[in-house]
Amino acid sequence: MARKSGPKLCYDFRMKIGYARVSTKDQNLDRQLVALKAEGCELVYSEKASGKNTTDRPQLKKALAALNPDDVFVVAEWDRATRSYADGLKILADIGQRGATARVLDRPYFDLDGPLGKALLGLLSAIAEDERQRRLAQAQAGRERAKERGQHLGRKPKLNPRQQAEALKMLDAGKSQREVAAIFGVGRATISRLR
């Protein structure tokens, strides 16, 4: 009589480390966090920070530092991890140097362990960088149009136009910037910017 064998046990010691990011304080991380938990990430690092570069994102650094050989770096969307081609390649290189791999939940058809998958992630990073630059250009064009219409950009000036004219008269009359600043109750830099 043949002995019936039980189920084969297969242990997966790879740890899944998730990373979530939104660009502004007004945006919500919930959707990404739910996806990362559903994927089985044991550790999840999240932050609200600009995606402009990786140096300003301490949680990304911590997530990458937590990777050990055979671990998996998981992001819900690749453009949440990076906004530039160079940063994307840097992240992939860091993951590879640690002997880990990456998984992108919104791109499940990519095999990120192979060279083609890494090249595709590089392409996605380049597309994200292009999109970011396009948005910046649109924002700059909007600011220029507003300026042409005479709209004031930035915070409210400390001195109204009448006060500015009066301060300039005082400066022309020989008063120092420090004296004029004290009269109006503003910093010397505010007065120095009038000229």
pLDDT digits 0-9 by tens, 81-100? 887 777 887 888 888 889 88
Here the tokens at position 102 are: 């990456």
SS3 at position 72? strand
User: What global pTM score does this model have?
Assistant: 0.57
pLDDT at 88: 80
In residues, how long is the chain? 195
Cα 178 from Cα 164, distance rounded (Å): 15
User: Which pLDDT does position 53 carry in this prediction?
Assistant: 61
User: pLDDT tens-digit profile of 104-120?
Assistant: 898 877 666 677 777 77
Amino acid at position 100, single letter: A
Determine the pLDDT at residue 6. Answer: 46
Distance CA 159, CA 191 (A): 9
- Residues designated catalytic: 23
Ranges of the chain whose pLDDT falls below 50? 1, 3-9
For residue 105, the model assigns a pLDDT of: 92
pLDDT of residue 33: 95
pLDDT score recorded for residue 12:
57
Q: Which residue ranges form the domains of the chain, and what is each CATH number?
A: 16-134 (3.40.50.1390), 161-192 (no CATH)
